[in-house]
Amino acid sequence: MKNAIITGTNRGIGAVVLEELARRGCNVWACARKPNPEFEKRIKILSDKYGVWIKPVYFELSNEDEIKTGVKSIMSEKLPIDILVNNAGMAFGGLMTMTPIAKLKEVFEVNYFSQILMMQLVARVMMRQKSGCIINMASVGGIETNPGYLAYGSSKAALIWATKCVSKELGPYGVRVNAVAPGFTNTSMGHFNNDEELNKMIEKTSLRRMASPEEIAKGVAYLASDEASFVTGHVLVIDGGRSV
């Protein structure tokens, strides 16, 4: 039975990744921003359903001290950490000329620097174990370029580069590092202002539909599994055959 840390488990893809790994027999430290009775009720139901433990851990990704405190509380349990899923992030759209530098820094703080800090903290445990798997939630927005996505796209592009770099650094310790790059997915972050925008995005995919969060979660679960034991430094694109 493996133990996993997953960030952003309160909603969206993270909530579904949490259930998918629990269904496959993983214990989970379920990270979220703030205490939430509904969230704790849901993870109790999942814990009972799948016969695993799921423990809530709360911290803000924009707060370095909170991240360190949260991870320290996990490490204090002196249990192996087999999987880290850096899922949480923030979306932001805006043309370059209309994007304040402060907003750019905020997006990078959450989508890049916090992910690096999580990897730094957890990698120390995995290196001592000589095993482990890190999965970063990137985006096709970090691979293709479109106007209006300077902050979000460049933060995800940086995360993809970091994934490949860190995979080379941690590989000799038996630690694998990969990324998942979802395309247009049916979550609250995949919101469009009107049906016309929605239809234009759907028409860009060969399969002519959005991904479900479950389809993204299955990609994460594969990379976290022993079936992917020789996969590292890889970006798994799950986009339905998207064209720019």
176: domain CATH number? 3.40.50.720
CA distance 145 to 123: 31
Report in angstroms the alpha-carbon separations of 37 from 10, 84, 216.
11, 24, 26
Query: Which neighbouring-strand residues pair with 24?
Result: none
Tokens of 70: 């949260």
Q: What confidence score (pLDDT) does residue 219 get?
A: 98
Identify the domain containing residue 57 by its residue range: 3-237
Q: Supply the residues annotated as catalytic.
A: 152
For the CA atoms of the chain, what is the radius of gyration?
17
Tell me the backbone φ, ψ of residue 198, rounded to 5 degrees.
Answer: -60, -50
**pLDDT on residue 192:** 55
| Residues 78-126 pLDDT 10s | 999 999 999 999 988 899 999 999 999 999 999 999 999 999 999 999 9
Give the 3-state secondary structure of residue 34.
coil
Looking at the structure of the chain, the number of domains it has is 1
- How confident is the model at residue 186, as a pLDDT? 86
Q: What is the pLDDT of residue 40?
A: 97
Which residues share a beta bridge with 3? Answer: 27
Say if 244 falls within a structural domain.
Answer: no
Burial class (CB in 10 A: 0-12, 13-18, 19+), 76: exposed
Q: Where are the alpha helices (H) located in the chain, listed in sequence order?
A: 12-23, 37-50, 64-75, 101-108, 114-129, 150-170, 195-203, 213-224
What does the pLDDT read at residue 243?
63
- Whether 33 is in a domain gets the answer yes
pLDDT in tens, the chain (244 residues): 999 999 999 999 999 999 999 999 999 999 999 999 999 999 999 999 999 999 999 999 999 999 999 999 999 999 999 999 999 999 888 999 999 999 999 999 999 999 999 999 999 999 999 999 999 999 999 998 888 889 999 999 999 999 999 999 999 999 999 999 999 888 865 555 557 777 877 888 889 888 999 999 999 999 999 999 999 999 999 999 976 5
243 domain-assigned? no
d(CA 148, CA 27): 39
Domain annotation covers residue 71: yes
Token representation of residue 69:
């405190």
- Of the candidates 235, 233, 242, 239, the one whose C-alpha atom is nearest the C-alpha of residue 182 is 239
CA separation for the pair 179, 160 (Å, rounded): 7
The answer to whether residue 85 is domain-embedded is yes
Contact at 8 Å (CB) between 134 and 122? yes
In a domain, 167, yes or no: yes
